[in-house]
Amino acid sequence: MNGPAPAAPGAFISSLESCFALPLNEITSIVRSFHEEMDRGLSGQSSSLKMLPSFVDVPRGTEKGSFLALDLGGTNVRVLAVELDGRRNATVPAVSTFAVPPGDMEGTGAALFDFIARCIDSFLTEHTIDRNNLYDLAFTFSFPVAQKDIASGALIAWTKGFTARGVQGEDVAGLLRTALKRNSISCINVTALTNDTVGTLAAGSYLDPACDMGVILGTGTNGCYREKSSNIKILNGYVSDEYMIVNLEWGNFATLKRTGYDMHLDEASVNEGSMFLEKMVSGMYLGEMTRLVLIDMIQRELIFLNDPDATEHFSTKNSLKTEHMSLIQGDQTTELSKTDRYLKSMGVTSSTLPDRLLLSHLCGIVSSRAAAISAAVVSAVLTWLDPALEERHTVAVDGALFEGYAGFEAAMTETFTLLHGNNADNIKLMKCKDGSGRGAAIVAAVTASKQ
264-292 as b/e, with b when 16 or more CB fall inside 10 Å?
bbbeebeeeeebbbbbbbbbbbbbbbbbb
Amino acid at 156: I
- Is the pTM value of this prediction over 0.85? yes
Q: Give mean pLDDT, residues 353-365.
A: 96
The one catalytic residue in 148, 160, 228, 450 is 160
Task: Look over the chain and give the mean of its residue pLDDT values, rounded to a whole number.
Answer: 92
Whether residue 303 contacts residue 355, with contact meaning beta carbons closer than 8 Å, is answered with: yes
Superfamily of segment(s) 55-194: ATPase, nucleotide binding domain (3.30.420.40)
Q: What's the whole-number mean pLDDT along residues 346-370?
A: 96
Q: Which pLDDT belongs to residue 98?
A: 96
Q: For 288-298, how does the pLDDT look when each residue is reduced to its tens digit (9 = 90+)?
A: 999 999 999 99
The mean pLDDT value for 43-58 works out to 92
Residue 156 scores a pLDDT above 90: no
**CATH 3.40.367.20-classified regions of the chain:** 1-52+208-433
- Please give the pLDDT value at position 6: 42
196 annotated active-site: yes
Catalytic residue among 71, 114, 136, 196: 196
CA distance 207 to 91: 12
pLDDT tens per residue, range 275-317: 999 999 999 999 999 999 999 999 999 999 999 999 999 999 9
What is the assigned CATH class of domain 1-52+208-433? alpha beta
Is residue 2 scored above 60 in pLDDT?
no
Q: Which amino acid is at 84?
A: L
Q: In what order do the strands lie in the sheet with 211-217?
A: 52-53, 243-247, 221-228, 211-217, 393-398, 427-431
| Tens of pLDDT, residues 69-115 | 999 977 889 999 999 999 988 899 999 999 999 999 999 999 999 99
The pairing of strands 243-247 and 145-149 is unpaired
Of the listed ranges 88-102, 233-247, 338-352, the least confidently predicted one is 233-247
Q: Is 317 a catalytic residue?
A: no
